[in-house]
Amino acid sequence: MIALLAVAFAVGSPARAQIAVYAEGSANYMNNGPYADFLYSGTTGVVIGLAEIWHNRVVLSGDVQGNFGFNNSHPSIATFSSNETYNAITVGPRIGLKPHFFKLAPYIQGNIGFARYHDPITHSTTDAVFGGEGGVARQITPRFDAVIDYSYSYFAYNSGYYNPQTFGVGIAYHFTKR
């Protein structure tokens, strides 16, 4: 469906496959969670450029993302093997601008997938997660970007929900020069 929309918008524009991988150090705030604390995390993913539209300034892409967080600072949790964790795998469309003003490239994207929350004191659950993300990349070299982003998600569990918020800072590597 996403690919069909990208093709529909990109009729007549050249397809320039651009693939990038990224890694970020991030923090997840588990809003509405049992402890409502921060989890230390890493976010990684692959962005695949699908099409460029509007005079080749707007880029339509797809993103596959993994978010892996933990916190073992709760006083009742004695060992690293029994910590609080949140892991999510999501996919979604991304729309962004090519680097232009100060080599900045802002973007927004939607995410949908599955997540697992584990807390040895309260409960553990695996369920659907969806949300949105916004960020900006700053081109450092023709292959590397610095990235800052924020995402807000809705993670359902049993009879309630959490709203994980992720703040990330990292680097992206593009396989082809830009």
- Cβ pair 111, 78 in contact under 8 A: no
What 120-125 contacts at long range (C-beta under 8 Å, 24+ apart), as own/partner pairs, is 120/77, 120/82, 120/83, 120/84, 121/34, 121/74, 121/76, 121/77, 122/34, 123/34, 123/157, 123/158, 125/157, 125/158
Q: Which residue has the tokens 């993670």?
A: 155
The tens-digit pLDDT sequence of the chain (178 residues) is 444 444 444 444 444 568 999 999 999 888 777 665 788 899 999 999 999 999 989 999 999 999 999 887 655 544 444 578 899 999 999 999 998 889 999 999 999 999 998 887 777 888 999 999 999 999 999 999 999 999 999 998 766 788 899 999 999 999 998 8
Please tell me the distance from the alpha carbon of residue 41 to that of residue 28, in angstroms, as a whole number: 7
Q: Where are the domains of the chain?
A: 2-64+71-174
Residue 78 confidence (pLDDT): 47
CA-to-CA dists, residue 73 to 79, 83, 124, 167, angstroms: 10, 8, 18, 19
CATH of domain 2-64+71-174: 2.40.160.20
Residue 158 confidence (pLDDT): 65
Residue 168 confidence (pLDDT): 97
* Number of neighbours of residue 57 by Cβ within 10 angstroms: 11
Name which of 66, 73, 71 is nearest 42 in CA terms: 66
Q: Which residue has the tokens 């949140």?
A: 86
Residue 16 confidence (pLDDT): 57
Indicate the pTM of the whole model: 0.83
- Cβ pair 90, 111 in contact under 8 A: yes
